[in-house]
Amino acid sequence: QVVHAHKPHFMALHCQEFGGKNYEASMSHVDKFVKELLSSDAMKEYNRARVYLDENFKSQEHFTALGSFYFLHESLKNIYQFDFKAKKYKKVTGKEIYSDTLESTPMLEKEKFPQDYFPECKWSRKGFVRTRWCVADCAFDLVNIHLFHDASNLVAWETSPSVYSGIRHKALGYVLDRIIDQRFEKVSYFVFGDFNFRLDSKSVVETLCTQATMQTVRAADTNEVVKLIFRESDNDRKVMLQLEKKLFHYFNQEVFRDNNGTALLEFDKELSVFKDRLYELDISFPPSYPYSEDSGQGRQYMNTRCPAWCDRVLMSPSARELILKSESEEKVVTYDHIGPNVCMGDHKPVFLAFRIAPGAGKPHAHVHKCCVVQ
């Protein structure tokens, strides 16, 4: 429905955790899904496509479970994709699917983050996939990314900023350095996916529980903190919040939905570290995670984590200029979430829709050599 409403000529779709948690058993369904999507009536006007799926779960060293879909509308002429090995653009024709062997595909760069980035997780699938395109004289990178999560609410609560936000900063900084290094010409870039950005836990809890007293529950054998209970000082000492490693049970979920949770945006601080390198349009949708996976509970959050804007579309300063430079009377930029009342899994997808005016990148067109068939 969103695609139908916006009618994009070039569409980039990011997927992650392909095959789900039980990917050994479920990965076999992925190829059927992809083929049905590519041949569906809804997508019939997209006569060219590129699909890159990291399905090779037997390779612990490389497996990220990331997927990138690119659909090109039949009205779009002369689209080129960059070959990172040959260092030149190639015209995009037909529909192609790549899986299992993404390491040897020259049309993208893919990396899994080193294990020492997040040592407390025995094995993760976090990483990024990068492709480069040239559309209407504009060259740009599209980087699909999945950063590290908060392993424990109790640990996240201990310091401000949390130890986990530091881990995410390190990984995101690595990706940004990687995509602007000296190997290739610098172009505008968009970075999108699950950044796992969280609200500053300590500040949020203190704000939500201003009038509360805290009870600490420790394990009898180790004396380790296993639960924090915040009760109202009066009002029969009603429990406002219970916090455990994987429990964030706040008594009033409406605070995360009222006015799209805008009052909580002040605690969304993780992007501020990159304020000179990454730009984001104003957020006007509620926290995108963690939603109930019960199909009848499309609006309900799970009581596992503090709701947060994990899923984002970010861009380089020059990509922002590309969007803003293209402003015209009919120009509409939309940054929103998908399926507000429908169960979409534990994350609500977010999307950015915008127009690029033909020739918006013209000052640099002679550098990109995009429009030379190679």
Summarised one tens digit per residue, pLDDT across range 229-242 is 999 988 788 999 99
Residue 220 lies in a domain: no
* CA terminus-to-terminus distance, the chain: 36
Element (H, E) at 50: strand 46-53
Say how many domains are in the chain: 1
Residue 57 lies in a domain: yes
Residue 19 lies in a domain: yes
Residue 142 lies in a domain: yes
Q: Which two tokens stand for residue 231?
A: 């009760």
> For residues 316 and 61, what is the distance between their CA atoms, to the nearest angstrom?
30
Residue 204 lies in a domain: no
φ, ψ (nearest 5 deg) of residue 36: -65, -40
pLDDT at 121: 75
CATH number for the domain spanning 2: value is 3.60.10.10
pLDDT at 283: 97
pLDDT at 363: 52
Q: Which stretches of the chain drop beneath a pLDDT of 50?
A: 364-368, 371-374
Residue 369 lies in a domain: no
pLDDT at 368: 47
Q: E-strand spans in 219-304?
A: 225-232, 239-244, 247-250
pLDDT at 326: 62
pLDDT at 372: 42
Residue 162 lies in a domain: yes
Residue 128: give the domain boundaries. Answer: 1-199+258-353
Is the CB of residue 55 less than 8 Å from the CB of residue 100? Answer: yes
Using one digit for the tens of pLDDT, what is the confidence trace for 41-92? 999 999 999 999 999 888 888 899 999 999 999 999 989 999 999 999 999 9
Residue 16 lies in a domain: yes
pLDDT at 330: 60
Sequence-distant (≥ 6) Cβ neighbours of residue 170 within 8 angstroms:
117
